[in-house]
């Protein structure tokens, strides 16, 4: 149970996963935000108003997957670091996972980072495709990682440091 | 010499700073007394992004919210900010005494807003006086204010928001965290905070408590054990965790000494985490002209502390006759904001606590009905 361990269950995840058809069409945001807490910065972060928290601030976010372009503007804005973007169409065998990162050192594009799952278990070394700073006050980085497609719904963090200067295989 | 002021705000944390700005906005002159050497209260070490709505600067890091609130106070010619100023007593003749830079000052305010915040609770267990056992607030101050790495390997006690957030910040500072243990069967803090540290590899063990801490000259390890459904220790479930620091995040309690001393009607309300002054809907206590805002009137989030401060500041200035129409309007807006923040499941506890506080006010006060 999420409330005992901090790890969302398969059922929890099912409830926030976009439909397969939408995932197959490209990048889309996934909000792993399961608890009703008073919080809504994600709704203002989205340039396309695709994230709604209604009728009141305590609701969990609902993403309009048709309106969402997977731009990732919401990722660094979420105080809970709970929003991810997954692009299943990144390459023939890989998906792109965009995640929030707030540790030093920050990886550079082209390096390999150790991908972690929702329990912090290592899933392998994956190429960092892009790193975007959230800005001077926001300070959250958005790291895009190319992972084997079957791990797109598993990789949710990277280990800070130890990055390898490997070749991108994407 | 007695220093006169229209409104005295005690404490320059989120509630106090917001109270001062709101009162000055209506036209009142305000003096803030802060016992620390810098304003901001706990915001100065909150490096994480805040929750709430944009009205409470949600999405911004606490440290920048503190700077913004402090900047607004410093820029306002209506507000005087006095640091290193500890309020000692509030007296019947309206005089408030303050220790400021080793001098004893006397202040005569027309209205006073107590925004003294909270203190950390401690936990009783054998070995709890060993060096290396800290409150989470101290660890946060060492890391985020003094820039000192406080430990090599920490065990965190308490999975409320403070325990979860300080764990995350320890990881950011490069400190190992062996785990977070929590006596309750459920994680008390926001689950997004829990998931964040969980995916960084830190286990969260609910139904666990500290049996004892051990070490020769300083902490070397902690024995923990599991708790059953009744909260009793399960024999044979003990485990040893090696760590040089044990960090306690087992809750806060309102800092109400000044409210007691001023003679406010008080009530013990579990949901508000201790004894709190009974306040009316403008946050005025049973002592006329004395208001209480923020954690001193019940432990809650910084976002609601800011709104409470604003509400008390508006009510105090409004009662002095400053822009009464505007005051009324802004007071209603602040109350609506508080209601919104407290309307969800996480606000349920606060709402229940406030209801009990009002009930206590009716029984105790007689004439004083809130």
Q: How large is the average pLDDT for residues A115-121?
A: 98
Give CA–CA dist B93/B198, Å, rounded: 55
Return the number of CB contacts < 8 Å for A and B: 134
How many Cβ atoms from other residues are within 10 Å of residue B226's Cβ?
Answer: 18
Q: Which residues of B touch A31 (CB under 8 A)?
A: none
Query: ipTM of the predicted structure?
Result: 0.96
Tokens 């792109």 correspond to A96
Q: Which of B61, B187, B342 sits opposite A137 (nearest CB)?
A: B61
Give chain B's mean pLDDT.
95
Mean pLDDT of A102-112: 97
A55 to A38, A66, B143, B340, B343: CA distances (angstroms): 12, 21, 39, 11, 11
Tell me which residue has tokens 């439909």: A19
What integer is the mean pLDDT of B38-44? Answer: 97
As a whole number of angstroms, the distance between CA B213 and CA B92 comes to 47
- Range(s) of chain B covered by CATH 3.50.50.60: 2-119+252-365, 122-248
Q: Using the structure block, give the residue that is written with the tokens 């059922």.
A: A11
DSSP code of B143?
A: I
Decide which of 3.40.50.1370, 3.50.50.60, 3.30.450.70, 2.40.50.140 is the CATH code for B122-248. Answer: 3.50.50.60
pLDDT over threshold 80, residue B324? yes
Mutation for A interface: B50, B53, B59, most A CBs within 10 A? B59
CB contact under 8 A, A120 and B202: yes
Residue in chain B closest to A37 (alpha carbons) equals B346
pLDDT at B364: 65
Non-local CB neighbours of A170 within 8 Å, separated by 6+ positions: A90, A91, A94, A127, A129, A146
How would residue A170 be classed by pLDDT, with cut points 50, 70 and 90?
very low
**Mean of the pLDDT values across residues B117-129?**
96
pLDDT value at residue B55? 83
Give A43→chain B minimum CA distance, Å: 10
Contact A143, A116 (CB under 8 A): no
CB contact B171 to A (< 8 Å): yes
Contacting residues for B312 by C-beta, under 8 A, at least 6 apart? B15, B19, B22, B113, B115, B282, B283, B284, B291, B292, B293
Q: What is the C-alpha separation between A2 and A35, in angstroms, rounded?
A: 10
pLDDT at B135 (0 to 100): 97
> Whole-angstrom Cα distance, residue B292 to residue B297?
6
* Inter-chain touch B343–A58, beta carbons under 8 Å: yes
Query: Looking at the predicted structure, is the pLDDT value of residue A112 above 90?
Result: yes
What pLDDT does residue B367 have?
43
pLDDT band per the 50, 70, 90 thresholds, residue B365: low
Put simply, the answer to whether B344 touches A6 (Cβ < 8 Å) is no
B354 band by pLDDT with thresholds 50, 70 and 90: very high
Average pLDDT of the residues in B257-276? 97
pLDDT digits over A145-162, tens only?
A: 999 999 999 999 999 999
Q: What one-character DSSP code corresponds to residue A149?
A: G
The residues of A whose Cβ lies within 8 A of any Cβ of B are 2-8, 32-41, 44-45, 56-59, 77-82, 102-104, 116-121, 137-140, 156-157
Report which secondary-structure segment, H or E, holds B172.
Answer: helix B161-172
C-beta separation of A71 from A50 below 8 A? no
Answer for the pair B21, B317: CB distance below 8 angstroms, yes or no.
no
User: Using CA atoms, how far apart are residues B83 and B330, in angstroms rounded to an integer?
Assistant: 29
**CA–CA separation, A10 and B40 (whole Å):** 42
Q: What is the pLDDT of residue B1?
A: 86
With bands split at pLDDT 50, 70 and 90, how would you rate the model's confidence at B337? very high
| Highest CATH level, class, for B2-119+252-365 | alpha beta
Per-residue pLDDT tens digits for A45-76: 999 999 999 998 999 999 999 999 999 999 99
Is B48 in contact with A82 (Cβ distance < 8 A)?
no
| B179 token code pair | 């785990």
> Is the separation of the CB atoms in B197 and B171 below 8 Å?
yes
Using pLDDT thresholds of 50, 70 and 90, give the confidence band for residue A44: very high
- DSSP letters along A50-72, please? -EE--SSTTSPPEE-TTT-----
Interval B299-321: pLDDT, tens = 999 999 999 999 999 999 999 99
Interface test with B, best of A6, A84, A161 (most B CBs within 10 A): A6
- Residue B98 CA to residue B85 CA, distance in Å, equals 6
CA closest to B48 among chain A residues: A79
* pLDDT score of B65 more than 90: yes
- Do A2 and B200 make contact, defined as CB atoms within 8 angstroms? no
Report the 3 state secondary structure along B314-359.
HHHHHHCCCCHHHHHHHHHHHHHHHHHHCCCHHHHHHHHHHHHHHH
Maximum alpha-carbon separation in chain B: 67
Question: A123-132, B237-246, B337-346: lowest mean pLDDT where?
Answer: B337-346
A89 vs A155: CA distance, rounded Å: 16
- Give dist(CA B305, CA B311) in Å, integer: 10
Best residue in A55, A79, A100, A123 to probe B by mutation, most B CBs within 10 Å?
A79
Quick: pLDDT tens for B284-295. 999 999 999 999
pLDDT, tens only, B159-206: 999 999 999 999 999 999 999 999 999 999 999 999 999 999 999 999
**B191 contact residues in A (CB cutoff 8 A):** 2-3, 6, 34-35
For the record, the structure tokens of B130 come out as: 């060993």
Q: Are B118 and B67 in contact, with CB atoms under 8 Å apart?
A: no
CA gyration radius, chain A = 15
Average pLDDT over residues B81-93: 96
Segment B54-82 shows an average pLDDT of 94
Residue of B nearest to A103 (CA): B172
What is the overall mean pLDDT for chain A? 96
Contacts of A140 in chain B (CB under 8 A): 49
Cβ of B94: how many Cβ atoms within 10 Å? 13
């Amino acid at each position: 149970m999420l409330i005992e361990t901090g790890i969302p269950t398969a059922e929890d995840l099912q409830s926030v996963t976009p439909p397969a058809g939408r995932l197959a069409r490209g990048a889309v945001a996934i909000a792993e935000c399961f608890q009703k807490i008073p919080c809504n910065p994600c709704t203002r972060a989205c340039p396309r108003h695709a994230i709604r928290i209604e009728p009141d601030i305590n609701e969990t976010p609902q993403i309009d997957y048709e309106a969402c372009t997977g731009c990732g503007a919401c990722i660094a804005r979420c105080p809970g670091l709970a929003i991810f973007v997954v692009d299943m169409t990144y390459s023939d065998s890989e998906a792109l996972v965009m995640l929030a990162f707030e540790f030093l050192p920050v990886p550079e594009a082209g390096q390999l980072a150790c991908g972690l799952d929702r329990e912090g278990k290592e899933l392998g070394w994956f190429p960092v495709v892009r790193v975007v700073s959230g800005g001077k006050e926001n300070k959250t980085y958005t790291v895009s990682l190319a992972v084997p497609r079957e791990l797109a719904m598993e990789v949710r963090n990277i280990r800070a440091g130890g990055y390898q200067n490997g070749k991108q295989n994407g | 010499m007695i220093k006169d002021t229209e409104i005295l705000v005690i404490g320059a944390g989120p509630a106090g700073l917001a109270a001062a700005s709101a009162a000055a906005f209506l036209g009142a002159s305000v003096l803030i007394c802060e016992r620390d050497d810098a304003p901001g209260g706990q915001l100065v070490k909150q490096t994480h992004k805040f929750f709430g709505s944009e009205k409470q600067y949600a999405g911004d890091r606490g440290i920048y919210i503190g700077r913004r609130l402090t900047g607004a106070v410093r820029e306002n010619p209506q507000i005087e900010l006095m640091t290193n100023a500890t309020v000692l007593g509030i007296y019947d003749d309206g005089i408030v005494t303050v220790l400021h830079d080793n001098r004893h000052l006397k202040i005569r305010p027309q209205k006073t807003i107590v925004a003294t915040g909270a203190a950390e609770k401690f936990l009783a267990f054998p070995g709890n006086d060993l060096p290396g056992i800290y409150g989470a607030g101290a660890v946060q101050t060492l890391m985020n204010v003094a820039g000192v790495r406080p430990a090599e390997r920490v065990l965190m006690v308490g999975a409320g928001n403070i325990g979860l957030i300080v764990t995350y910040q320890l990881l950011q500072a490069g400190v190992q965290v062996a785990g977070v243990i929590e006596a309750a069967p459920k994680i008390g803090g926001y689950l997004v905070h829990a998931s964040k540290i969980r995916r960084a590899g830190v286990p969260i063990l609910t139904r666990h408590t500290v049996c004892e801490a051990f070490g020769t000259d300083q902490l070397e390890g902690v024995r923990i054990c599991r708790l059953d459904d009744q909260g009793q220790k399960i024999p044979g479930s003990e485990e040893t965790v090696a760590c040089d620091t044990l960090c306690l995040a087992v809750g806060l309690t309102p800092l109400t000494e000044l409210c007691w001393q001023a003679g406010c009607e008080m009530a013990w309300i579990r949901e508000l985490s201790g004894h709190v002054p009974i306040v009316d809907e403008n946050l005025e206590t049973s002592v006329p002209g004395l208001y209480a805002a923020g954690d001193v009137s019940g432990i809650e989030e910084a976002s609601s502390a800011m709104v409470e401060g604003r509400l008390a500041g508006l009510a105090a200035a409004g009662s002095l006759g400053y822009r009464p129409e505007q005051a009324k309007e802004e007071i209603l807006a602040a109350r609506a904001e508080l209601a919104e923040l407290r309307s969800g499941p996480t606000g349920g506890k606060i709402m229940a606590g406030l209801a009990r506080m009002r009930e206590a006010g009716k029984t105790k006060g007689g004439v004083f009905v809130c």
